């Protein structure tokens, strides 16, 4: 089954404690991205990757890091989380340019205390 998986689905942590949210897709997609979703703001792109070792900033990259060492995986790293990073995070992947469907993971709800 074609899918994007994220782990963990829920995470409660404290300010400053480094964390990683994993994302993996089994569709051999080149393009992957991370979004955060906040009420009233819709989805905002954090980072994206157009292929292995190619990453770039989205609209709200501050406080986040990513890496793309393998095509299937695109982890999101919060080196020093802060309460304003409390949000719902989605990973997505697509095979083509703007016209292709994006496939979303189930989301990770992060709370930073």
Partner 1 sequence: AQSVTQPDIHITVSEGASLELRCNYSYGATPYLFWYVQSPGQGLQLLLKYFSGDTLVQGIKGFEAEFKRSQSSFNLRKPSVHWSDAAEYFCAVGARSNYQLIWGAGTKLIIKP
Provide the binding-site residues for partner 1, judged by CB under 8 A: 4, 31, 33, 40-45, 48, 50, 58, 90, 92, 94, 97-99, 101-102, 104-107
What's the closest the beta carbon of residue 15 comes to partner 1, in angstroms? 26
Nearer to partner 1, 45 or 67 (CB): 45
Residue 66's contacts (CB-CB under 8 Å, 6 or more residues apart) are 34, 46, 47, 49, 55, 74, 75, 76, 77
* Tokens coding 108: 């990770």
Distance CA 61, CA 12 (A): 21
What's the closest the beta carbon of residue 63 comes to partner 1, in angstroms? 20
What's the closest the beta carbon of residue 97 comes to partner 1, in angstroms? 6
């Amino acid at each position: 089954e074609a899918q994007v998986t994220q782990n963990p689905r829920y995470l409660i942590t404290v300010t400053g404690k480094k964390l990683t949210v994993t994302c993996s897709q089994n569709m051999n997609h080149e393009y992957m991205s991370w979004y955060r979703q906040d009420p009233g703001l819709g989805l905002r792109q954090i980072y994206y990757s157009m292929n292995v070792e190619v990453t770039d900033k989205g609209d709200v990259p501050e406080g986040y890091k990513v890496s793309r060492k393998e095509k299937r995986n695109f982890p999101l790293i919060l080196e020093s989380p802060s309460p304003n990073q409390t949000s719902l995070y989605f990973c997505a992947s697509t095979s083509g340019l703007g016209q292709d469907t994006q496939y979303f993971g189930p989301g990770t709800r992060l709370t930073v205390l």
